[in-house]
C-alpha cells in the first residue's frame, strides 16, 4: 500500500486542478492563473493542458527536460551524502540507490520509481504544451536575456513569452533569499497582461456602440 507521504505525478496534476477549481467555484474569482517554480511550473503547465483550469500561467525556471532535472537531483544527493557519510561515502552506492530504490527523497518529497520515470520522460521542446492562454516563462539566473532553451519553448507555444530576471537560484539555497527580481518581472508582466485585456475590452465596447 502506498504511503500518503509518497507522491505520484497523476495525484500532483489532480491536486493542481482541484485547487484551481476551488478558487473559481468557492471564492467566485473569475480569472485564475498558475505560478509554478521548477518542476512545479512544469506540472502546472501539464495540469493546465489536461484540465483547462487556468486563464494564464507564470512559469519560473520550468523543467524543460526531465532527464536533466533527475541528474541535478542526483548531484545534490551525492553532495549531501558526501557531507553526511564522510569516510563511508561511496558515489557508486548513492547512484545505485537512486536507480534501484522504489522511493527516493527529492527535497523532502518521497518520490516513487514510477514518478521518476514519468519525470524523466518530460521533454517540453519535443512535446510543447498545448496551452493557448497567456504564459510567462521566466528564466532566473545571472543573464539579462532568457536562455535559448526557454526562448525556443516560448516560440513553440501559441501565446507564450520568455523573459529573464537577474536572480540567484533561491531554490538551491538554505535560509531566506530575496526573490525580488523575479517578483518584479512577474508583476510587470501581469500589469501588461491586464492592460492589454482592458484595452481589448474597450475596443469591443467602442465597436458595439458604433
Q: Assess if residue 161 is contained within a domain.
A: yes
Is 51 a domain residue? Answer: yes
Quick one: pLDDT at residue 158?
94
Q: Note whether 17 and 117 are same-domain residues.
A: no
What is the domain-level CATH number for residue 163? 3.40.50.1820
Q: What's the Rg (C-alpha) of the chain?
A: 20
**pLDDT band per the 50, 70, 90 thresholds, residue 198:** low
Amino acid 205: pLDDT: 42
| Final residue of a structural domain among 121, 136, 161 | 121
Please check whether residues 24 and 73 belong to one and the same domain: no
Check whether residue 95 and residue 187 sit in a common domain: no
Q: What are phi and psi of 62, to 5 degrees?
A: -65, 150
Residue 187 to residues 37, 62, 155, 160, Cα–Cα distance (Å):
16, 18, 22, 16
Cell digits of residue 40 = 512545479
C-alpha distance across the termini of the chain, in Å: 65
Which has the closest alpha carbon to 42: 22, 74, 70, 66?
66
Kindly state whether residue 172 falls inside one of the protein's structural domains: yes
- 189 and 92 together in one domain: no
Looking at the fold, whether 136 and 202 belong to one and the same domain comes out as yes
Closest by CA to 109, choosing from 73, 150, 60, is 73
Instruction: Name the grid cell of 9.
Output: 505525478
Is 113 found in the same domain as 195? no
Indicate the residue among 79, 94, 121 that finishes a domain: 121
| Angstrom distance (rounded) from CA 133 to CA 135 | 6
Residue 164 CB-half CA count within 13 A: 13
Residue 163 forms beta bridges with which residues? 138
**Residue 187 domain-assigned?**
yes
Average of per-residue pLDDT values in the chain: 86
Q: Residues 134-154: what's their mean pLDDT?
A: 96
Q: What total number of domains does the chain contain?
A: 2
Q: Clarify whether residues 153 and 203 are in a common domain.
A: yes
Q: Determine the structural domain holding residue 83 and report its residue range.
A: 66-121
For the stretch 158-178, pLDDT in tens is: 999 999 999 988 887 778 888
Amino acid at each position: 500500500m502506498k504511503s500518503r507521504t509518497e507522491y505520484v505525478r497523476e495525484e500532483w496534476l489532480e491536486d493542481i486542478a482541484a485547487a484551481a477549481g476551488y478558487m473559481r467555484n468557492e471564492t467566485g474569482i473569475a480569472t485564475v492563473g498558475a505560478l509554478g517554480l521548477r518542476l512545479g511550473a512544469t506540472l502546472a503547465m501539464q495540469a493546465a493542458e489536461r484540465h483547462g483550469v487556468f486563464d494564464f500561467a507564470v512559469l519560473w525556471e520550468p523543467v524543460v527536460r526531465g532527464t536533466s532535472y533527475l541528474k541535478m537531483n542526483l548531484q545534490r544527493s551525492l553532495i549531501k551524502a558526501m557531507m553526511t557519510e564522510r569516510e563511508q561515502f561511496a558515489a557508486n552506492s548513492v547512484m545505485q540507490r537512486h536507480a534501484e530504490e522504489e522511493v527516493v527523497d527529492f527535497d523532502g518529497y518521497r518520490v516513487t520509481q514510477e514518478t521518476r520515470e514519468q519525470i524523466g520522460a518530460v521533454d517540453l521542446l519535443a512535446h510543447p504544451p498545448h496551452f493557448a492562454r497567456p504564459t510567462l516563462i521566466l528564466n532566473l539566473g545571472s543573464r539579462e536575456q532568457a536562455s535559448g532553451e526557454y526562448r525556443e519553448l516560448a516560440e513553440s507555444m501559441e501565446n507564450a513569452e520568455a523573459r529573464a530576471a537577474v536572480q540567484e537560484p533561491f531554490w538551491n539555497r538554505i535560509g531566506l533569499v530575496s526573490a525580488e527580481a523575479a517578483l518584479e518581472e512577474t508583476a510587470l508582466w501581469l500589469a501588461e497582461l491586464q492592460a492589454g485585456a482592458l484595452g481589448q475590452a474597450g475596443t469591443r465596447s467602442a465597436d458595439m456602440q458604433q
